[in-house]
Structures are given as structure tokens and as C-alpha cells.
Amino acid sequence: MKKNIFKLLSFAAIALLGWSCETDYYNEHYLDGYEPNDEITDVQSIEYTLTTADYAAIASNSTNKAIAEAAGEEAVEALNAIKKNGYFASTEEAQTYIKAFVSSKYDYYLSNGSSVAVNYAVAANIPEELQAMKAAADYTLKDEAYAAAGSKVKALTPATIDKLAEIVPNDELKLEAGQYVAVTYNWQDGEASTTEKTAVRKADASNYTSKLGSAVLNEAVSIKGYVSAVCTQGIIVTDNTGSILVYKATGFAVGDEVTVEGTISSYNKGFQLDTTKGAVCTKTGTKADGVTYPTPTVIDGAALDALLGQATDEYAKYVQIMGTVAVSGNYYNFNVEGAAKATGSFYGLSDEQKSQLKDGDKITLYGYFSSISRQSGEPKFINIIVTKIVAGTPAAGDYTSVLGSAKLDDEVEVKGYISATSTQGPILTDNGGSVLLYKTSGYEIGDEVTVKGKLSSYNKGFQIGTAGLEITKTGTMTVTYPAAKELTGADMDALLTSRTEDGYAEYVKMSGKAVVGNYINFEVPGASTAQGSVYGATDAIKAQLTDGMECTLYGYFVSISKSNGEPKFINVIVTSVEPKVVTETYEQRYALLKWNGSAFTMADVTMVQPADYAEMGQASGYFKAPTQETYLPKFLNKTYPYALAEEVKYVVYKLGASDWTVDEYTNDGASWIKNDYIVNENAPFIKAGGEWMFNPNRTIVLNPDKSDFSKKYYQAVIDWVYANKNEKYTYDNRSDSRITDAEYYSGCASGYTNLNWRINTLPKYYWSAAGEDVSAYEKYTSDDVAESKAAYEAFYKEAEKHFAESMAAALGVLHADQKMIEGVETIFTIQMMLYTQHIGSSTGRVTHAFEFKLVDNGKFEYVRMYALEDRFELMKDSNWQ
Amino acid sequence: MKKLFLLMVGLSFFGLTAVAQTIVSGRVLDENDQPLIGATILVPGTTQGTSTDADGRFMLRTGKGVDAVQVNYLNYKPADFKINASATKQDLGTIKMEPSAIAMQDVVITQSIAVQRKTPVAVATVSAADIEYKLGGQEFPEILKSTPGVYATKDGGGYGDSKINMRGFKSENIAVMVNGVPVNEMEWGGVYWSNWAGLSDVTRSMQTQRGMGASKIAAPSVGGTINIVTNSIDAKKGGSFTYGVGNDGLQQMTLSLSTGLTEKGWAASVLLGKRWGDGYIQGTSFEGYNWFVNISKRINDHHQLSLTAFGAPQKHNQRKPLYAGLSIAEWDKWAKTYMGEKDMYRYNAVYGFDKNGQERSSMVNQYHKPQISLNHQWQIDYKSSLSTALYMSIGRGSGYSGQGRTSADRNNWNGASYGKLLHTFRKADGTFDYGAIQEMNEQSPDGSRMVMSQSNNNHMWYGLLSTYTNQISKSLELSAGVDVRYYVGEHNNKIIDLYNGAYFLDDGDRKNVKPENNIAAADPNWKYEKLGVGDKVYRDYDGHVHQEGLFAQLEWTRKKLNAFVSGSFSNTGYWRVDRFYYDDAHKESEHVNFLGYTAKGGVNWNFTEKSNIFLNVGYISRAPFFSGGAFLQSTTSHATNPDAKNERVFSIEGGYGLRTPTLTLNLNAYYTLWMDKAIVRSSQMSNGDYARVNMTGVDARHMGIELDFRYKPTRWLNVTGMLSVGDWIWTSDARGYVYDSQGQPMTKALDGTVASGIMADDHMYMDVRQKDIHVGGSAQTTAAIGATFFPMKGLRISADWNAYANNYADFYIGGSTSLQNVNVNEPWRIPWGHQLDLSASYSFKIGKVNATLYGNVNNVYNYNYVMDAQCAADATGWQDAYAVMYSFGRTYTLKLKLRF
């Protein structure tokens, strides 16, 4: 025991050899001159151009808001306008508000002495009329207003459009004379019908998003759509491109228009938006035209099994399944014949729905397949959120498949059901096909029957006559019709000649106009000879058809009758009539109106209409800056193909969902040029004493980093030298080519972004070639220190002179807009890396500063140069020791 | 998870009842009366066992009723001993092992492993048990930190991002071999340790040979050699399961199963592991897997086949020193502001979020490099054998590489530039604002300004290594063989994220494509092609490398004397196939070939039973690498370096060794000259041609002394220590003359003007003035002292203290395209740093299952010191240092291993 204690003590002793340390201990202890809380300086000179987002940031900056509020309501409006316009109204305004922006963006890391030169746009001279248009109010015409214009519908029509200016109520808008309003109104292209019709606004569909079906897992989405199914676990929301389960969203009904914000998650192989995990679903309205479902995918047993193998997460799919309800306690499932493994499951069935289902019911259900649940770890349940349950299924196994294959004169024995009735007899259907039971009567649709008879033919159609017919009713069922084959006019014409053999009855549909006389015929557009004939119309069918009625007929095409010896009538035993739904479509339009003090007048402007946005690919129905700059000139070209030069147009458009604005464009003979009245200006701010202030003096640091910023200055000098000086300064005799990224008059090299003042290069190869006398610099290699020094000194003096001249000129080009300010001296300091024999090229930092004074608007004059550190002094003694 | 942890703690108390019955001791010697280190002593039919120490001694506490033990050593016949089961102590005395006539233990290509007191090189070996005991949450190479001459750091701190230097030489001068197969990258010679981060789980032993080492094949063993030997046929039947947790959400799980050797001669073992966590450094979460399969078949007494495959796929977020490391002042200002003083050095400048609040990083690395080798051992007769390894390595992976329209846009992906934190895309809380990039791109009318690309670096590597060994006489042994390799590296950058922009224009890179090389560039619109996700930018090329080598060694052994001479000769060939800067007609570059050779010799004399001395001398002439050697701009151009030179290394080294029952000590001194280090620069001239400089005479001298010892005064205490003192300096100023692609001397105008003569007055040159400047990037003085206590059965506790000094900031003089003179200042000498690590393990039984609980605390005192820094050539002190990386603070791990 003693020994163990000793061991542990020795261990502890070794452990204590170390010492506890503060994070800064090391730095403070070992780094000479280290001050832990010493403010380190980060002095930078930055040139920054405001982006669209920056104007918005300036407008919403709290400091600026306070400034504006203190200045009054007009200033607040002006500040808000900066966001919309993307420019300032005046230079003063810019200098007032940019300061806070610079402070918020740079204050936390730039130190005193830093400068930020902000490039911004000012539109100071905008004509008053244009300004008034830009400030246009926004108004949507109310539904009641259209009647006042004499319109019978809730829209303006070609006959009533002229009344627009009269029906906009200024007592509501309260505009003053000279002010504008942008009006949104409904438009119907054609005069109104007198009958009551369903009104559908075209805009509705385009308001829905097109996100579902393509958004990926973990993508944050904002959906606008409608509720297409509800269950106790949530709702199915559908937009233009897909459907998704919004989990645990409650209190919604089918047909509600909703927005859903959330992140796409997955559960049991189905995508969902989960309200328990932050998704938010909000009702915004009701779908005006009700919910129509897409054509469902029919899932049979094999397909149900196949779904279990689904490997990836999927969106909800609309399906149709036939099966048998299996109730076990509170669980409601359904079995599908032919499915070996998979079981259908009603997902989130309401108690009411449950009460309508009994174990063993045969049903056809429609709904959204949304996920796959497991049993004992294996995928098993196909979860369906139902939209519709139809009782009864054709129990396919019970019927024969005789029809469709039996031949003429065959004695047949059929077990099937009655699928249509007519005064000429019913249609008998089994699993193989359908046939007319000619002149048989007394049966209803849905009667299950066994039939023994002989297959005969009449007018190219098979039928079973009454001769020798044995028919017995065995039960009843619910008929589900197969997908109807559409017969167009052309199809019908073709049938007249192509039908050379007898055929079985076929389920079809035809759209056209009923001709009701002794017979009921049916005209289908596009048919030149053929006509439909409602064969043996029952009273119920007759009651639904009126002469001239436009509708779609569904029924069994049984035979072709002749007229004047030529095939003409396509005989159909009709099962249902679907009247044509006439929808009246309004679209939205915009107009700009001006209040003159007593009345509105239509402004002479070019409005970008909703359809135009769609055509320009702006599905949102508005422009998002700066896309309008690209599209509007093209839009004008298209709208005014014969515009002449100097024609001026005002284009009014939406910038963002709710902001109206207007731009003035002039045609230059070929294209449209925006008159933005905008001038680009520059406001330099410097930080001193912790505060940012407007200061025209600028320090421009040209780091030798080959950055675009540095290159810009070097290149300006090179270009100036090329344009104004002897070409030998930028010309290489040996390669017989012009040097484009350097000039050897003053030594600016944009490739390296440094200033090359090497005595062995500039005079020897370039200055002499340009005719300068370089003899004063030749003895730089002399062993006589005084001689060598004199050569260097003379060379540096000359190089400085050259540089002073060229850089002053280059600054004049780059800062042509720089304005003289009364009573303020403006100095531009350019800091650069100087590369000489003694300094070398490896410093990698700026070594010297050159000062230039602004002497007139955009004109500079050289002042002086100095080294930024002692070691960079050009003529320091140590260079010659 | 918490429950499991509690269970582990609970279990550790159950084990206290295990009691030993008999203590068996002895000493194992070879046929020359030399101690055999690492011989295993086993109780047959159980897993009880131990191994011999440096002096060949062992002590085994056996369980109840044990009446026999077996001693095993590679290439020796097993020796069985009866013991008296009722005795409490039994000394077996000196056990002399007989060599097995036909050594058939294992098909590991062991040719490169050095043997103490026989191979005349400086060597240190870390056993699997020590790795398991001390690794904890450290990076794999850090396990070597207490061995002399080694400096291992975490580099940026991401998972697998570690760095190891030996004797001051960097990765490309350290040969790394796994089971005798070289794994240094064929194109640039270095090793990415993240490829091998999971290898620690299957390592049986890890040996460092400092200096030229014992490797016979042509390998870049200038600084040293790291030999990693993985598990194989000798794994016993059974398996193990390990689960561990650590700081910052670290979790690890390992399962291994082994059949042992079946009666029909089959053996198979499988290991699967996973390690994941959030990372100590902010935003460096990682997920690493590790798999290992070995199937061996002993066909007959003469043939044995073994198939080994392993890989360690991983994905981790990084903090690259150069692009996210700060200067000291910036750490102090920004990291402290954002993270608080306590956690300031965890700050990661590229950690941030996008518009949707999802975490993003511009530095993500993922790699998987399975290595598969089929080894065949043919014992031809009792004198000769042939062992052959046919291997392939399949590298698949990438690192993120932010692209931009301009160089400024590209740089904006970085967190820092030369130590200065970049603020362009930074939120006030210090996180990188990836959302602002998305917004900028959304607003941009001409596509994304900045996009993220994956810099893919895939490779296929095939190799054959075959060694024939013949015992010519009792004292003379010849080994000779061939070493053939072929490697294709596929390199491209693929856009993976447009960052909400509509498309990306790669005009910045495509403008550099010359129509005469790629006809596509003749169309001025080509460079403005709108690119999307999956499209390639910047580069798309394959590097082809092949190497054919021959090697031979003669080894002469007399009782106390052992000497060897060895040599190798190899040809290395390179070419590249480019699909970006070149079209189909020009895609293949010229093929270039280089010859290299090595010559080594050494002698070891065991002049007493306790002492030995050795001396070795060697010379390496190494072929230039693909990048920066054979090709001037290997990523973008076919331009070859017409006068690429071999780098040459001369090294001499001597040492002394002492073995007593209580003390083992090694002392050695080395002197290495590294000559003609390649510095190749090229730059485009105004006439469009390339000017290039081939520096010669860039020499460095690395010399130093190294000491390590192990002192075991009593059974319950073991003290180890190490001291290495290096003196590594650049010894020459170098001058390189500038030539054009035709080999014509150029003037300073750099416009194609030919100078009046080679080395004439007007012939341009560049100087690198760095004579007497210290070599940076690695601590020249390192020391370690550690003590391990065995206070009671099954328990062991260790404290290890490591110190690093004379570490100079790293500076680069190669690489840049500027042809200007470089005056190098003495780099900043980083102050010394040190840390204390604690380890403990406790072994116990749960029923029949052996369990061990391990605990590690690294840097107990949470002491942050600078481990790595970089500086420019003209830097003057700590103020100028950038990419300053501080050590991790305190970290810990706890794990339980069950063996069954």
C-alpha cells in the first residue's frame, strides 16, 4: 500500500512539473513588443461601387432613418425612394446617407486613416413630369366599378375601355393635380355574354409556384398552391408542377389556396413539409375554379408491389387503385388483387370516412400516394391520402372474356354486365369486350347477367339478337367505364371507309353540337361526311340534349349506318352527356392615369402588361433589378418596330411585386437608350478619430498584387504614354512588337503592378532609343562611389519627372469627374511599389507615396514623393557602403 | 450514447477481481546471443501473452492452471516450455531461439525493416500496443512525436491534416512505406496523411529510420523512412470491438475479426472502423472510415499467398494554414473578438453559412485511396527465397477549390491572405458569409462571379516489387530485386455549386488557352461558354509516371560484426495528357526520362554484449519530380524543363547503443548535405516565349545529434526520454541564369533579346541569397521525457512531456513566377513550446472477454503555443509571420476495447 502511495505521489509530482497557462501567456511571455489588447491597425484604401442591394441597405439603415425622420416626412419618402430608384436624388443626399453605410460596412475592421471612395449614382436633373410618374400611386379597380362603365361583366371590354378614366375614383385616391396613378383592371377581349358564366382569372394559375417536383431534400422553399386532399395527418398541397404532403397542417379544406414556407424533408420515401419542424402553411384564398385532379396513374397488384422497391424519396402522386377494404381494429387497409407483398393503407382516414367503409368492401379509390411504411423492417404499406372512394369494383375474375374474340355466328356463353341501355337494346360487357344485345329489354346498367346466344352482325357491328337468346340476371354491380377513345371529326370520316370488318362495341367520346329532330344527330367539327348518331336514345339521354347544344358525348360506338347508300352515321349508344363549360377569361391589364385636378386622363406611356412579362421570361410578373435594363430596349424595339430616331417613350413597369416605376427611353435610330439622368459620382470618406467623414483627399494604395484595381492605374499610365509619347518607350525593337503591359518612360508595369526604376533598363534600352541623352546615368556601375551615386541620383530625378507627368495625366483620365471643392485642397496620394537596383523586387509591399493635387475639375498636378520606410530611401548611404 | 458511456465506466469496476497466478520470466536470445526484441510469449490456446523488451527480457503473469508457454519470433522456430502450474514464480532463464529452416510466418515485404544491434541505422519503433495506448485523439503521425528527429504537427487542424518532418526535411524527402510498398505520391513525392488517417487501427508496428535508412529500393529517404506494417496472418483467432468518445463530439468504433490460421492453411481478418466528430477547430467536422481485409493461404511449406486490401475513406472540412491562418496580431484582434480568449485559436476563417442557414465551407477534402496488394512468398530452399508484391492503389478524391471570374474573386474564397483576415464576405460575428456570395451571384447579370469547384485528383497506381534473397554462405547474404511502377494521375476541376448564379464563365482561365494548342480557342466566343455544375474549369489533365528500378544488397555477418553495401538504379519517366489547354491533336506532351541511383553502406559492431557502434554512409541522386522539376508548369502546360537536374544527397552517420537490463540508450550523430535542391522558375516574356531559370547550387546542410533512452529501474516504473539537437542551414547563395525555351541566354529586357553570351555581363540572372539562413518549417531541437507507472495489475498510467525549440518560420523561395532576386532574411525563430500528455489504461475481464479501458488527455495544461508559421523572404520578426498555427488546447478521449 505504502508503495502504491509513493508511486502515485511520484506520478503527481511529474504531472505538476507543468504549469497552468492562460491563452495569452505564451504570446505575452515570448513575443517582444506584443501587447495583447493593443489596437492593431488595418489601414486600407478601398474603392467601392454601390450595388442595387446597397441602395436598399442605405434606405433601411437605422441611422439614416433617424436622420430622415428628423428632417420630416418628405425626407423619409426620399430615403425610401433610394431603394426603389437605385440612385440618389442629389449629391448632398448621397453624402448624407452613404456615411452610415460606410460605417456599418467597414467600421468594425478598418482603422483610422483608412479611406473608402464610394462610387454612386445621382439623378439630379430628372424632369418633373418623369418624377411625378415615378411617384405614381397604385390602385386596383374594384369589381363594382365595372358596371359604372356600362360593362356587363367584371372587366372592361373593347366597348367600355374608353370609360376607364371615368370610373377610377379620386375621392378614394385623393390625388392632387399633376399626380399619377397606375391602375390594375380586368380586361376581356370581346364583348360580354349575357349568360351567367364561370369567371376564371387567367392570373390564378400563374400565381402558383412551380417548385414541387423539382425542389430537392433540405431545400428551403416557399410554395404557393392549393389544397388538393386532406387527411388527419395533414394536407396535400399542389402547385403547378407537383404535390407534397404538408405534415400536420390542420384546419384546411380541399380548394383552399395556401402558401407554405419550409424546408423539404423526407419521411418513409416521401417528401414532405413538416409543420412540426417549422414549416408554416397559411390560407390565402379559395381556388376559384375548384380543384381538378390530373389523370390518375392506375395501380394494379403488380404495380403496388413494384412501389415497395422505390429507392428514393418522391413527391406525392395521384393514383387510382381497386381493392378490398381490410379493417383490423382501428387500422383501415386495402388489399389489391395480384399484390404479393404490398398492402394499400388509407393514410390519415377521418372517422367519417371510416364509418363508410366495411371490411370486405370492394372499392375503387383515388388519392395521393405519399409514402411507404414498413412492417418488421420491410417496406409493406403503400400510404394513400384519399380524395374519392367509389364503392364497387368490377370483379374482373367473375366475368368471361368471350366478347372481343368470338367470331361471327359463334354460339357464345357470356357472363358479364349491362354497361349501357338504349331503345335498341342494352350493351353487354365482359372482360373481353362489349356487344349490343339487339332488341333485348328490361335490364338496367349494372345488372350482372349470363347470356347465351349467337353472334350476328349488322352495319359493321357485332350484336346478339333475340333469336335463341337465353339471358339471366345474377346480380348487380357498379360500372366503371374504361378510358373513352376520343373520336375527332377526322377520325369519324376515316371510320366510314376504314371499317370494313364487323367490330365489337367500343367506348368513345365525341365533342360537338347536338342536332335534335326526329333523330338525334351530332355534328363534330372537322368531319366532312360523317356525323354522330345517338343510337336508340333513352328518355333520360333525350332530356339532356337540346338542339344546337355544345357538349361531349360518351358511349358505345356500335355500328355505321348509311345515308343515300353511303356510310354516314357513327352510331353511339350514349351513356352520359357532358355540356361544354364555357369559361370567361379575364386578364389583368395596367394603365397609367393622370389627375388634372378635375378628371383623370390616360397618360401617353408604354405600359408593360402582364402578358409582356411572361413573354420576357419574368414569370413573377415584374422585373427584379437590374433585369429591366436588358429587356426594356428589346421590348421597345418589338413594340415600336418603325420607331424613328429621337423618338421618346416612357415605359411604365413594375420593379418588384408592388413598386411601380418609369424609365424614359430615346431611340437613336437603331435601338432604345435609357435617359436615366444619372451621373456617376464619387464620395470619398476617411476614418479619423473613430468617425467616418467625407473627405475629398484620397490615398490610393496600389498593392503589387496584380489585382484589377492596381492594374487599372498602371494601365492608364501605359495607355497615356503610348498615346502621347515617343513610341520607343513602349516598343521593343528586337521582337518588333509593342509592349502592352508596361511602359519604360516612367516605368509602370501593369503585369507586375510595380514601378520599375532600374537604371540598367530604362535609359539603356528605351530612353536612348527615344532620343534622350542618357550619358548622365551611364557610370552607375563605376567603382568610384561618388560617380555611381551621381548617376543614380540623376536617373531617379529624371524618372520622377517622367512619372509625375504621366501619372498626373493618367489620374486626369481615371478621375475625370473629380470636382474642385471651393476652399478645400484635394490631394490624391498614390502609394506604389518601387523596384530599383537597391530595393529589389521581393518586398511585395508598397514602398513609396506620390502626391498629386487637384488643380481643376479632373486635372492633377504632381507635388512630391517620399519613401514609406527608411529602408526604402532611394539614396540612403548604406546603398553605397 | 450516454448510456453506453455509463456502461463503460461501470464495467471498469468489475474487472478488479482478476488475479494472476504464476509469474513466468526469462530472456530470449538469437543464434548470435543477441537479445530478440519483441518476441512473443504466449500461453497456448489463450490470448494471454507478452513480448520481450529491448533487452530480450519478459515477464508474464499467467492465469490459473497454466502449465505451458510458447515463445515465438519471426523466422525462428517456436519454443515450448512446461511450467509448474502451482508455483507462484518461475524463471525460464536464457532462451536461445533456433532459426527456422524455412521461415514462413508472414508475407510482409519486410526487406526495409531495420533490426537493432544489426542494421547500422538510427531507428525507433512504436508498437501497436503503444499506438493504441497513446494515440487518443491525435493525428496518426503524432504518435512519433516523442522519437528523435521527428517534428509532427496538426498543420491546419482538420482531420487527417497533419504534417511530419524528419531531421528538418519535408514530406517529399521522407519515404513512407506501408508493408514495404512505397506510398509517396508519384507526381510530387509527398504524402497526404489524410489518406492514411484510419491506418492506426490496423498498424502492427510503426518504425522510423532516420537518415538514409535500410530501404533497398530507390526511395526519397533523405530525412528518413517511416515503415508501417499492418496486421496480417499472425493475427490470432478472435476479434475485438472498440468504442471511444472524445472532445468535440469525437466518436470512434472499430470492429475486427480474424479466423486465425485454419488447418487448411487459410487465414482471414477483417476490420471495419469509423471515426467522426465536430473537430476541435471550429467548423471542421469529419467522418472517416477504415477498412482492412487480409486473406492468406499457406499453399504448402514453400508457397504462401496473401491478399491485403485496406482503405480509409474520409471527408472533412479543413482550415488551411495559408488561406485561413492568421498573423499573431490578427489572431489577437479578430479571433479573440469572435471566439473569446479561451477559444480564440479554434477560430476558422472559412466557417460560415449560406442564405438558408446551412453550414458551408470552402475547404472540404474527401479522399479514398484503397491499396490492394497480393503478396507471394516462395521459400525456394532453405537458403533462398523470393518474395513478390503486386499492388495497386486507387486514389479517388478531391478538395474544394473556389473559382472566380478574376483572381480577386478567387481570392475572396479564402479566409485570410498572408495572415490578414479577409472581410469582404464576413459577418460581424466572424463567420464567413457564403450567403453574400449567393446574393452577389443572384444579382450578377453575367453569371456567377464566384463558384465552387471540386479539384479532383484521382489516380491509378500499379506496382511490382520482387526481392530475391540468397544466403550465399553462413555469413554472406545477397538480396536483389526489381521495383516497377506505373501511375496515372487524373486532375481536373469540376464545378459543383454555382452559388445561386445562373452559369459561370471561365474566361479567366480560357484566355490562357492558345489557339495553336487548342483549336477551340480560335473561336473568340469559346472562352465565354456558359458553364454549369459538372463542367470542368481551370485544368483537366493526366500525369503519367513510370519507374523501373533494380536494387541489390550484400550483407555480411560475423558474430559481432554486420556490414552491408547496397545500391539501386532506376529510370523515371513522365508525360502529360492535357484536355483543357490542348486539343486532341496536341494532347500528349513529350516524354521525358531521368535516371537516378542510390549507394549505401554501413557497418555495425557489437563490441560488447551490452554495447554496439555503427556507421553508415550513403549517396542519393534523385530524379526531378513531375511538378516543379520535369515540367515547368505541370498543371497547365506541356513545357518541359530541358535541363532539369537530379537533386543529390550525401549523408554520413554514426551511433552508439547500450543495452543493460535496466537501461537502453542510443546516441547518434549525422551529417547530411542536400545539394542542387531544385528551384525552377519560369515566366512568360513579352514575346510570348517562356523565360526560365534553373537554380543550381542551392545547398543545405543538416547535421545534429540524437539521443534516446529507456530506463526501467523497477517493475512498476518505466522512464523514457529523447533529445535531438539539429543544426540545419542553407549553405550557399545560388545564382540561376535566364534562358528561353531554345536555351538562348536572355537579357534583362525579358523580351526575347539574346544576350551577348552565356554568363556574359548582359546575361540576366537571379540570385537567391540565403547563405547561413536557418532551414524553416521544423523544430531543430526537440526533447521528450515520459514516465509510465504500473501501480497494480492491469493498470498503467503515463505522463509524457514534449518540447520543441529552435523552430524557424517556413519560407518559400521556389514556386513563384517572378524572376527577381530573392534576399532571404533569417526567418522568425518561433519561441519554444511544450505540452504534457497523460495516458492511462486498465485491463480487466468481463466473463471470458478481455477488456481494456483507455483514457488520454493531451495538452493537460491547455497551453497554446505556436507550432507552425510561414513568412516572406524579407520578414523581420513575429509581426511579419503569417499562417501562424497554434497548438490545440486540452483534448481528451476515452475508449473501451473488448477482445474476444
Tell me which of A850-864, B20-34, B471-485 is least confident.
B20-34
How many Cα atoms occupy the beta-carbon half-sphere of B521 within 13 Å?
A: 18
Instruction: Express each pLDDT in B841-877 by its tens digit.
Output: 999 988 888 899 999 999 998 999 999 999 888 788 8
pLDDT at B7: 39
Instruction: Express each pLDDT in A19-32 by its tens digit.
Output: 445 556 788 888 88
pLDDT at A563: 86
Residue A607 has pLDDT above 50, yes or no: yes
Long-range contacts of A623-627 (CB under 8 A, 24+ apart): A623/A653, A623/A654, A623/A655, A623/A656, A624/A655, A624/A656, A625/A52, A625/A86, A625/A655, A625/A656, A626/A52, A626/A86, A626/B443, A626/B445, A627/B445
Residue A630 has pLDDT above 70, yes or no: yes
pLDDT at B568: 92
Q: Which run of H or E residues covers position A11?
A: helix A2-15
B822 touches chain A (CB under 8 A): yes
Mean pLDDT of B496-503: 94
Residue pointed to by grid coordinates 539501386: B568
Residue B554 has pLDDT above 60, yes or no: yes
Quick check: A732 and B751 CB within 8 A?
Answer: yes
Residues of B with Cβ-Cβ distance to A632 under 8 angstroms: none
Interface test with A, best of B360, B690, B820 (most A CBs within 10 A): B820
Sign of CA dihedral A657, A658, A662, A663: negative
| Residue of chain A whose alpha carbon sits nearest to that of B328 | A27
pLDDT at B75: 63
Quick check: A34 and B878 CB within 8 A?
Answer: yes
Identify the band that residue A4 occupies on the pLDDT scale cut at 50, 70 and 90. Answer: low
The DSSP symbol for A870 reads G
pLDDT at B578: 95
Share of chain A above pLDDT 90, in %: 29
Interface test with B, best of A4, A23, A111, A768 (most B CBs within 10 A): A23
Instruction: Express each pLDDT in B475-496 by its tens digit.
Output: 898 989 999 999 999 999 999 9
Between A and B, how many residue pairs show a Cβ–Cβ distance under 8 A?
144
Residue A455 has pLDDT above 60, yes or no: yes
Residue of B678 and B841 predicted with greater confidence:
B841
- Residue partners of B701: CB distance under 8 A and separation at least 6: B671, B672, B673, B674, B727, B728, B729, B731
Residue B21 has pLDDT above 80, yes or no: no
DSSP letter string, B33-95: SPBPTT-EEE-TTSS-EEE--TTSEEEEEE-TT--EEEEE-TTB--EEEE--TT-SEEEEEEE
Identify the band that residue B591 occupies on the pLDDT scale cut at 50, 70 and 90. Answer: very high
Instruction: Express each pLDDT in B326-376 by its tens digit.
Output: 999 899 889 998 998 889 999 999 999 999 999 999 999 999 999 999 988
Question: Which of B330, B787, B791 lies at the smallest CB-CB distance from A4?
Answer: B791
Angle at alpha carbon of residue B777, lines to B640 and B178, rounded to 5°: 70
Whether A106 contacts A114, CB under 8 Å = yes
Question: Which of B344, B821, B838 lies at the smallest CB-CB distance from A23?
Answer: B344
Identify the band that residue B73 occupies on the pLDDT scale cut at 50, 70 and 90. Answer: confident
Whether B244 contacts B896, CB under 8 Å = yes
Retrieve residue A509's grid coordinates.
Answer: 367520346
Residue pointed to by grid coordinates 507550432: B867
Distance set, CA B571 to CA A411, A815, B621, B642 (Å): 92, 61, 11, 17
Retrieve residue B389's grid coordinates.
Answer: 508484391
Q: Which of A125-139, A748-762, B348-362 has the highest mean pLDDT?
A: B348-362
Residues of B with Cβ-Cβ distance to A12 under 8 angstroms: none
pLDDT at B494: 96
Tell me which of A357-371, A739-753, B115-129, B251-265 is least confident.
B115-129
Q: Which of A199-208, A617-626, B70-79, B886-895 has the highest mean pLDDT?
A: B886-895
Distance set, CA A373 to CA A250, A300, A469, B337 (Å): 22, 19, 52, 50
Angle at alpha carbon of residue B223, lines to B222 and B224, rounded to 5°: 95
Identify the band that residue B13 occupies on the pLDDT scale cut at 50, 70 and 90. Answer: very low
pLDDT at A206: 52
Mean pLDDT of B263-290: 90
Residue A823 has pLDDT above 90, yes or no: no
pLDDT at A108: 79
Q: Name the average pLDDT for chain A.
A: 85
Retrieve residue A623's grid coordinates.
Answer: 422585373
- Separation of alpha carbons A498 and A487, rounded Å: 14
A715: left (phi over 0), alpha (psi -120 to 50) or beta: alpha
Quick check: A627 and B445 CB within 8 A?
Answer: yes
Helical residues (DSSP H) of B298-432, grouped into ranges: 321-324, 328-330, 336-339, 407-411
Nearest to B165 by CA among B869, B779, B668, B666: B779
Residues of A with Cβ-Cβ distance to B419 under 8 angstroms: none
- Separation of alpha carbons B400 and B454, rounded Å: 5
Residues of A with Cβ-Cβ distance to B791 under 8 angstroms: 4, 7-8
Chain Cα centroid distance, residue A661: 21
Q: How large is the ipTM? A: 0.73
Residue B101 has pLDDT above 50, yes or no: no
Residue A625 has pLDDT above 90, yes or no: no
Identify the band that residue A11 occupies on the pLDDT scale cut at 50, 70 and 90. Answer: low
Nearest to B541 by CA among B590, B591, B487, B492: B492
Residue B108 has pLDDT above 50, yes or no: no
Interface of B with A in 770-799 (CB under 8 A): 787, 789, 791-792, 797, 799
Mean pLDDT of B289-303: 86
Quick check: B332 and A36 CB within 8 A?
Answer: yes
Quick check: A840 and B823 CB within 8 A?
Answer: yes
| Residue of chain A whose alpha carbon sits nearest to that of B714 | A7
Residues of B with Cβ-Cβ distance to A835 under 8 angstroms: 820
pLDDT at B575: 96
Residues of B with Cβ-Cβ distance to A17 under 8 angstroms: 801, 836
Residue A641 has pLDDT above 60, yes or no: yes
pLDDT at B222: 87
Instruction: Express each pLDDT in B759-801 by its tens digit.
Output: 888 888 888 888 999 999 999 999 999 999 988 888 999 999 9
Shortest distance between the Cα of A14 and any Cα of chain B, in A, equals 7
Quick check: A842 and B873 CB within 8 A?
Answer: yes
Residue B707 has pLDDT above 90, yes or no: yes
Identify the band that residue A195 occupies on the pLDDT scale cut at 50, 70 and 90. Answer: very low
| Residue of chain B whose alpha carbon sits nearest to that of A21 | B863
pLDDT at B233: 56
Q: Which run of H or E residues covers position A563?
A: strand A550-563
Shortest distance between the Cα of B462 and any Cα of chain A, in A, equals 36
Residue A205 has pLDDT above 60, yes or no: no
Instruction: Express each pLDDT in A44-58 by its tens digit.
Output: 778 888 988 889 889
Polymer length of chain A: 881
Instruction: Express each pLDDT in A535-547 by its tens digit.
Output: 999 988 888 888 8
Quick check: B445 and A36 CB within 8 A?
Answer: no
Interface test with A, best of B433, B686, B859 (most A CBs within 10 A): B686
pLDDT at B725: 96
pLDDT at A338: 82
Quick check: A734 and B753 CB within 8 A?
Answer: yes
Interface of B with A in 241-280 (CB under 8 A): none
DSSP letter string, A682-735: EEEEEEETTEEEE-S-EEEE--SS--HHHHHHHHHHHHHHHHHS-GGGGEETTT
pLDDT at A392: 65
0.80 cut: is pTM over it? Answer: no
Polymer length of chain B: 900
Tell me which of A27-36, A459-468, B398-407 is least confident.
A27-36
Q: Name the average pLDDT for chain B.
A: 86
B860 touches chain A (CB under 8 A): yes
Q: Which run of H or E residues covers position B25?
A: strand B22-29
Mean pLDDT of B254-271: 84
Quick check: A14 and B799 CB within 8 A?
Answer: yes
pLDDT at B106: 43
Interface test with A, best of B330, B331, B333 (most A CBs within 10 A): B333
B339 touches chain A (CB under 8 A): no
Residues of B with Cβ-Cβ distance to A837 under 8 angstroms: none
Instruction: Express each pLDDT in A303-353 by its tens digit.
Output: 889 888 888 888 999 888 888 888 887 788 888 888 888 999 988 888 888
Identify the band that residue B105 occupies on the pLDDT scale cut at 50, 70 and 90. Answer: very low
Identify the band that residue A393 occupies on the pLDDT scale cut at 50, 70 and 90. Answer: low
The burial class, CB within 10 Å (0-12 / 13-18 / 19+), for A276 is: exposed
Identify the band that residue A134 occupies on the pLDDT scale cut at 50, 70 and 90. Answer: confident
Kindly give the pairing relationship between strand A485-486 and strand A506-516.
parallel
Tell me which of B26-30, B216-220, B508-512, B801-805 is least confident.
B216-220
Helical residues (DSSP H) of B277-319, grouped into ranges: none
Mean pLDDT of A624-652: 89
- Separation of alpha carbons B352 and A847, rounded Å: 36
